[in-house]
């Protein structure tokens, strides 16, 4: 797992807020759901809506476009949707928020 700093501590979104960041060449949404910080992909797999305008409800991230719901821990779409979103691990450290990325076998060869 490769950990990359995404935000300074003072940039972490407040409860209920969603912030878009660019980390490791990917655009992610950093979400504060009841003071738990979650990192997800930023675009909705349904039709590309941007989650930055979305909101959290009952442990799900709701897309603002057609209101599809995605579980904030598993990334799984609600029943009947048949889709999912990527959830990235987060680690709050002394100097800020880090997001973890799986390393592919080939990137380990080159680094």
User: Which residues contribute to the site for ligand FES (CB under 6 A)?
Assistant: 44, 46-49, 63, 65-66, 68
For ligand FES, the closer CB: 14 or 48: 48
Give all strands (DSSP E) within 8-107, no chain letters.
18-23, 26-33, 36-41, 55-57, 60-62, 69-71, 87-88, 90-93, 96-101
Least Å from the CB of residue 111 to ligand FES: 35
For ligand FES, the closer CB: 4 or 47: 47
Burial readout 45-83 (b: 16 or more C-beta within 10 A, e: otherwise) = bbeebbbbebbbeeebbbbeeeebbbbbeebbbeeeeee
Structure tokens at 82: 């048949």
For ligand FES, the closer CB: 12 or 52: 52
Least Å from the CB of residue 110 to ligand FES: 35
Least Å from the CB of residue 106 to ligand FES: 32
For ligand FES, the closer CB: 23 or 62: 62
């Amino acid at each position: 797992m490769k950990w990359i700093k995404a935000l300074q501590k003072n940039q972490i979104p407040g409860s209920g807020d969603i912030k878009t960041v660019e980390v490791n060449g990917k655009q992610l949404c950093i979400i504060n759901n009841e003071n738990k910080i979650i990192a997800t992909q930023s675009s909705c797999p349904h039709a590309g809506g941007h989650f930055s305008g979305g909101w959290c409800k009952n442990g799900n991230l709701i897309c603002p476009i057609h209101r599809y719901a995605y579980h904030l821990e598993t990334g799984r779409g609600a029943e009947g949707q048949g889709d999912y979103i990527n959830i990235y691990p987060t680690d709050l450290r002394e100097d800020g928020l880090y997001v973890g990325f799986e390393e592919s076998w080939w990137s380990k060869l080159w680094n």
